Amino acid sequence: MIQTYQVEANNYEDAGIVSQRVKQTLKLMNVPPPILKRIAIACYEGEINLVIHSEGGSISLIMEDSQSIKLKLDDVGPGIADIEQALIPGYSTASREAREFGFGAGMGLVNMKACASAFEISSSPNGTHICMEFRND
Amino acid sequence: MISYTGEKCSHCIKCIQSCPTQAISLIKKEIQIDESKCIHCDICVKNCKNRYLKVESVHMNETLHLHDYNIILIPTSLLSDCKSLEDFEKTCSAIKKLGFDEVIQYSDVESTLYQDYISYSESHPGLWLTSFCPTMNLYIEKEYPTLYERILPFDYPVEVAAKKIREKFKDQNIGIYSLCECVGKMFLAKQPHNNHKSQIDYAMSVSHIFPKIRKLLSDDQETMTLFKGGLSLNVSDNFRGDHCCIAATEGINQATSLLELIEFGRIKHLNLIALYACYQGCIGGYYLWNNPFEGFYNIESMQNEFQEGSASIDDQLKYIERLVDEKSVESFEERLKWFNQVNEVLEKLPQFDCGACGFANCRGLAESIVNHERTLETCRVNKR
């Protein structure tokens, strides 16, 4: 089963709403709390990243079997110039506006990677694509 | 459970629409409450304009004679209905005259637990949630399973008070009554709501005995000693004290916002959150006759009457193990199949969530259709 939600760029007011829906679905599916917790945090961080940095994108929740739940994040740009640098805790390119909302601490990608069992990222000026897999490990 | 006595119910479905956990549905012209979802808050009871939804109290005249010695536990929040300590002591004397051998006030237990909450949250890493509000505990257990293990490992103050009494009157035939200021607490007793794990025998609401107390009020006073921690625990504004790492929330909506943030890892600097289902804390309980705003004034003006200190309580009486109820959880695959079926049916429904079918939302009806309890015909909008 795949559920895809759109995330609007710069919409700080509704930031987090997709993560809430994803979380709600996972609860309906009786996903065990420890794994649910990790997915919720990773999804939220990803959603905030899309709101702050991208020009819009989507989050897909992919559930095929109990062994693996995946989150796919796809946006349409502008991409991450240096992925390695972006994965250093505390590194941030967030705008002043974003920081004023309390975001942009430079922990987004770091937290996502820490929560996921497997983390893949690719980026170009045309967009960033992240695939996270969550296993019961 | 919350009972329905609605022969004249107009099916306004306000209860269905207001329920925070979608526990209510209208089936064959009768309101039904799904106990597996109900969190014993008072929202449906308050929203029923004809008061057809009620929580039963035990009837003392049927139970007092069953025991050699009857004790009633008085909640601290009852003070918010009194103008002075003297007024409270007169009220307690009137309650005793209903036929009890002893009236016990448990703010000493609350003081001990209040200090325990703070020291436990300071000495154990992470964010902790208070354990004194039965409604909030149920809400977390049912809606926020990832946070269940963050509820402090302490039993309810009223249960601890009851356990202390049991210890004191070992092997004697005593009856323990709990006078309740809120709906949630009514379920912490063996009767009338069959909570067999409870140490309390009977639960009664304050408003259930209020008319009788009024008739028995006189100048007689029952001496009561009050402890400061009771004030901190029952009034949400007081819980925090000087601690900047403690917060308090009132009502389901505020709690929901905060619990969502916690699940997303957004709360970093707090180590203890007090969760109250009622506004202003326990003094906002549904069964108190004063409003919580006047109640706050009343209880605050008595703060000099409260003493420092607390009860000494054995660890085994205070601590409880929070076991997750191992429900017969379906396998992920079965659940996924069911979920996909529900989504398919949902696509055929209008998704206005009008409630005319008797379910809180279209998803509720879709689930019922998948479970073969309803058909698509149930949807009144589709029928047109």
Q: Read off the pLDDT of residues B97-153 as tens digits, 9 standing for 90 and up.
A: 999 999 999 999 999 999 999 999 999 999 999 999 999 999 999 999 999 999 999
Residue B167 φ/ψ, nearest 5 degrees:
-65, -45
Q: Say how far apart CA B276 and CA B292 lie, in whole Å.
A: 13
pLDDT tens-digit map of B84-93: 999 999 999 9
Q: Which tokens hold the place of B347?
A: 């696509």
Using pLDDT thresholds of 50, 70 and 90, give the confidence band for residue A105. Answer: confident
pLDDT of res. B327:
59
pLDDT tens-digit map of B204-263: 999 999 999 999 999 999 999 999 999 999 999 999 999 999 999 999 999 999 999 999
**Total residue count of chain B as it appears in this document:** 384
* Residue that wins the pLDDT comparison between A101 and A44: A44
Query: A33: nearest CA in chain B?
Result: B146
Going by C-alpha positions, the residue among A63, A42, A22, A66 that lies closest to residue A121 is: A42
Residue B29 has pLDDT above 90, yes or no: no
Q: Give chain A's mean pLDDT.
A: 91
Residue A93 has pLDDT above 80, yes or no: yes
Tell me if residue B130 falls in helix, strand or coil: coil
Residue B40 has pLDDT above 90, yes or no: yes
Q: What is the mean pLDDT of residues B22-43?
A: 94
Q: Give chain B's mean pLDDT.
A: 94
Run of H or E residues at B46: helix B43-47
The answer to whether A94 touches A108, Cβ cutoff 8 Å, is no
Residue B266 to residue A63, Cβ atoms within 8 A: no
Ordered alpha helix ranges (H), B81-155: 85-96, 107-123, 134-143
Q: Is B329 an 8 Å CB contact of chain A?
A: yes
Q: Say how far apart CA B206 and CA B202 lie, in whole Å.
A: 13
Residue B329 has pLDDT above 70, yes or no: no
Q: Say how far apart CA B359 and CA B66 lie, in whole Å.
A: 43
pLDDT of res. A98:
79
Q: What is the mean pLDDT of residues A88-116?
A: 85
Per CB-CB distance under 8 Å, the chain A contacts of B262 are none
In this prediction the pTM is 0.93
pLDDT of res. B298:
95
Per CB-CB distance under 8 Å, the chain A contacts of B367 are none
pLDDT of res. B331:
77
Cα four-point dihedral sign B119, B124, B129, B131: negative
Measured from the Cβ of residue B7, the count of other Cβ atoms closer than 10 Å reads 6
Residue B332 to residue A44, Cβ atoms within 8 A: no
Q: Which of B36, B146, B325, B337 to mutate to test the interface with A (most CBs of A within 10 A)?
A: B146
Range with the poorest average pLDDT among A16-20, A75-79, B19-23, B323-327? B323-327
Burial of B153 (0-12, 13-18, 19+ CB in 10 A): middle
Angle, helices B206-216 vs B85-96, to 10°: value is 90
Residue B129, min C-alpha distance to chain A (Å): 17
pLDDT of res. B28:
85
pLDDT tens-digit map of B252-298: 999 999 999 999 999 999 999 999 999 999 999 999 999 999 999 99
Burial of B320 (0-12, 13-18, 19+ CB in 10 A): middle
Using pLDDT thresholds of 50, 70 and 90, give the confidence band for residue B77. Answer: very high
Q: Say how far apart CA B221 and CA B241 lie, in whole Å.
A: 32
Which string of DSSP letters, residue by residue, matches B221-286? ------BHHHHHHHBHHHHSTT-TTEEEEEHHHHHHHHHHHHHTT---S-SEEEEESSTTBGGG-T
Q: Which amino acid is at B75?
A: P
Residue B265 to residue A41, Cβ atoms within 8 A: yes
pLDDT tens-digit map of A4-50: 999 999 999 999 999 999 999 999 888 889 999 999 999 999 999 99
pLDDT of res. B7:
78
pLDDT of res. B232:
95
Residue A51, min C-alpha distance to chain B (Å): 16
Q: Is A6 an 8 Å CB contact of chain B?
A: no
Q: Say how far apart CA B356 and CA B69 lie, in whole Å.
A: 52
Q: Which tokens hold the place of B203?
A: 């639960």
Q: Is A68 an 8 Å CB contact of chain B?
A: no
Measured from the Cβ of residue B252, the count of other Cβ atoms closer than 10 Å reads 21
Residue B265 to residue A34, Cβ atoms within 8 A: no
Q: Is A20 an 8 Å CB contact of chain B?
A: yes
Residue A41 to residue B264, Cβ atoms within 8 A: yes
pLDDT of res. B330:
73
Using pLDDT thresholds of 50, 70 and 90, give the confidence band for residue B349. Answer: very high
Q: What is the mean pLDDT of residues B320-347?
A: 83
Q: Which of B264, B324, B328, B361 to mutate to test the interface with A (most CBs of A within 10 A)?
A: B264
Residue window 227-266, chain B: list those with CB within 8 Å of chain A.
Answer: 260, 263-266
Residue B148 to residue A66, Cβ atoms within 8 A: no
Q: Say how far apart CA B357 and CA B353 lie, in whole Å.
A: 9
Q: Say how far apart CA B368 and CA B341 lie, in whole Å.
A: 11
Q: Is B330 an 8 Å CB contact of chain A?
A: yes
pLDDT of res. B2:
85
Residue A6 φ/ψ, nearest 5 degrees:
-85, 145
Residue B332 to residue A20, Cβ atoms within 8 A: no
Which string of DSSP letters, residue by residue, matches B162-212? HHHHHHHTTTS-EEEEEEESSTGGGGSSSBTT--TT-S--EEEEHHHHHHH
pLDDT of res. A107:
81
Percentage of chain B lying above the pLDDT 70 cut: 99
